[in-house]
Amino acid sequence: MSLSLIISIAAIIVSGLVFTWLFKVVKATLSTAISIAIIVLILQLAFGIAPQELWQQIIHIPQTVWQFVTDR
């Protein structure tokens, strides 16, 4: 076996692993984005909660948690 053949096989294996990892990351990202979009749409249509209101609540979560922890 020549050195170039070993390097080519290693390159194919590494490329396959990187492609598999990238595919999993993209799949997870799209899945999360779709889930968030569905939740925001349901909140808006069912309860009239605007995305801006939801975002403001998300921004205040650390402050709310801190107050909860320090008040005990």
Q: Tens digits of per-residue pLDDT, 17-67?
A: 999 999 999 999 999 999 999 999 999 999 999 999 999 999 999 999 999
User: What is the per-residue pLDDT across 2-11, written as a single tens digit (0 to 9) for each?
Assistant: 999 999 999 9
Hunting for tokens 């396959």 — which residue is that? 16
Q: Give the separation between CA 45 and CA 1, rounded to whole angstroms.
A: 65
Q: Give the separation between CA 60 and CA 65, rounded to whole angstroms.
A: 9
48 dihedral zone (left: phi>0; alpha: psi -120 to 50; beta): left
Q: What is the pLDDT of residue 35?
A: 97
Q: What is the pLDDT of residue 71?
A: 84
Number of domains in the chain: 1
Hunting for tokens 């205040």 — which residue is that? 60
How far are the Cα atoms of 12, 36, 63 from residue 54, in angstroms, in the given order? 46, 11, 15
Question: What's the domain range around 56?
Answer: 3-70
